Amino acid sequence: MAGERAAIRYAKAVLSLATDNNTAEVVNNDMELISNTVAQSKDLKDMLYSPVITSAIKKSALLEIFKGINPATVNLIDTLIANKRTDLLAAVASKYTTLFEQQKGSQIAVVTTAVPLTEALETKVLAKVKELTGKETAVKNIVDESILGGFILRVGDTEYNASIANQLNKLKREFTLN
């Protein structure tokens, strides 16, 4: 929880700086790149969390991996390295994207499914979320086979869990309580 609060603070600071410099959109693209890259690379994640790897090595690796990023993003990396909080990089990037979308008046609906969403389903999800929230929404699909089936929809702070795994866990809890 403390890490999440810190990530939000860093993300707000970077968004404020980027907005002042009229580079919020460019920095958002950097943050999406960072978030996706860290999520897909176990080695990168391990490096960010490693207490053994020196700050200088982490900095040179990150700047090499993310060549051509905006100076505001480089400043974020420098700050996280100076404060020994590189483990927050992916969380800060994710929070930045969420805050950026909120600032624009839109939002991101994260839909976790066991299989990738089809275009038809994505369209239905977008229509339903817009009907419920009244805001423009982009859909981000996360595939997690462990939910077995169904979906988990997260919009902002609200989560609707209609996964098979969740329903099975509820049944299991009911049987163990009775």
- State the DSSP code for 150: S
pLDDT band per the 50, 70, 90 thresholds, residue 178: low
Which range of residues forms the domain containing residue 167? 106-177
Q: 160 with 153: CB under 8 angstroms?
A: yes
SS3 115: coil
Residues 76 and 89 in one domain: yes
| pLDDT tens-digit map of 114-155 | 888 888 888 888 888 888 777 778 888 888 888 888 888 888
Nearest to 106 by CA among 95, 94, 98: 98
Do 117 and 97 fall within a single domain? no
Quick one: 95 and 56 in the same domain? yes
Residues 97, 149 share a domain:
no
Is 115 in the same domain as 170? Answer: yes
Average the pLDDT over 72-87 and give the result.
93
Q: Do 139 and 89 belong to one domain?
A: no
Euclidean distance between CA atoms 137 and 96, whole angstroms: 16
Q: Report pTM.
A: 0.66
Instruction: Give the whole-angstrom CA distance, residue 41 versus residue 62.
Output: 13
